Structure 1
Amino acid sequence: MDKLIAFLDQQGIDYEIIEHRQQINTAQEGADYFGIHIGQTAPTLILKTDNGFFALIISGDFGRVDFEQLKALLQVQQIKLAKPQEVEAVTGSKIGSVSLIQHHLPIIMDRELYRFDYVYGGTGFPNTTLKIRPNDLEKLVKTIAFIR
């Protein structure tokens, strides 16, 4: 957590790390807990392709991910959600805690996140949530594409 905080402070980013007692496992749980619109939750999904791993940061009200659209966007033959052990190996975090800030992975961002001043997502550590502006998030990661 200290590395994340130091990085965000160094970048001069407006953010908040929110600690909570319960694990938040779904976008709806996050929206209910924080009293926010479900679209403000920003799950980070790890995708496995024939060209390596990618992170997809979506708005919590996204619905079903269109893997055919992602295959065309990323120009890959195969794409699927990474298995829990792969997620942990690639990110150092368990599913449900994956950090929004992924320095080493190419990122696909959902444009619908920009509807909100702030979005809420993982820090890499259980029972903590990162509140950050979507524009700042985009600047901090290696965004390679957008959906929606």
Structure 2
Amino acid sequence: MENIREILKKSGCSYELIHNDIPIYTAKEGADYFKIDIAQIAPTLIIYTAMGFHVLIVSGERGHVNFKDIKHLLGCKNVRLATKEEVKSVTGFSVGNVPMLGISLPCIIDRKLLEFSFVYGGSGEKDTTLKIDPNALFKLNKVVGTMD
């Protein structure tokens, strides 16, 4: 977590780390907890492609990932969610605690998130949510593509 905190401090970006009183497992739970639009919840997923692992930050409004769109975006045939074991191995974080930044993998970001002043997602620490300007996600990640 210190690495994430250091990245945030040095970034100059607007953010807040919020301790959750209860565990948050879904986008709907996050939206209800923070009393915000579900589209502002930004789960961080890890996907596997023939080109290797990628970070995928999506709007909670999506409900699911359209892998056909990801295949087209990356120009590859096979795309799937990484397993729990793969996520831990390539990020150092457990599923559900993967931060929205600080992971040295190529990143794809949902443009829907840019409709908001702040989005809420993983901080790398259990029961702690990162509230951040979505533009910072483009600044602080190795972005290789966006989703419409």
Structure 2 CA distance for aligned equivalents of residues 135 and 53 of structure 1: 23
Pairwise mapping of residues 94-113 of structure 1 onto structure 2 (< 5 A)? 94-113=94-113
Corresponding residue SS for 2:125 = coil
- For residue 40 of structure 2, what is the amino acid of its counterpart? Q
- For residue 4 of structure 1, what is the amino acid of its counterpart? I
Gap runs ≥5 in structure 1: none
Pairwise mapping of residues 69-88 of structure 1 onto structure 2 (< 5 A)? 69-88=69-88
Corresponding residue SS for 1:61 = helix
Contact 2:49 2:79 in 1 (8 A): yes
**What is residue 131 of structure 1 aligned with on the other side?**
131
Contact 2:42 2:57 in 1 (8 A): yes
Structure 2 CA distance for aligned equivalents of residues 30 and 132 of structure 1: 15
Structure 1 CA distance for aligned equivalents of residues 104 and 22 of structure 2: 29
Structure 1 CA distance for aligned equivalents of residues 106 and 134 of structure 2: 16
State the 1:93 CA deviation: 1.1
Structure 2 CA distance for aligned equivalents of residues 141 and 96 of structure 1: 19
- For residue 80 of structure 1, what is the amino acid of its counterpart? R
Contact 1:91 1:102 in 2 (8 A): no
- For residue 84 of structure 1, what is the amino acid of its counterpart? K
Q: Cα deviation per residue 1:9-32 (whole Å; 9 max; x = unaligned)?
A: 112121100011321110000001
TM-score when normalising by structure 1: 0.96
Structure 2 CA distance for aligned equivalents of residues 7 and 110 of structure 1: 21
Contact 1:92 1:124 in 2 (8 A): no
Q: Give the alignment's Cα RMSD to 1 decimal.
A: 1.0
Gap runs ≥5 in structure 2: none
State the 1:111 CA deviation: 0.6
Q: Cα deviation per residue 1:82-139 (whole Å; 9 max; x = unaligned)?
A: 0011111111111111100043111111110011100000011110000000111110
Structure 2 CA distance for aligned equivalents of residues 81 and 135 of structure 1: 25
Structure 1 CA distance for aligned equivalents of residues 81 and 59 of structure 2: 17
Corresponding residue SS for 1:97 = coil
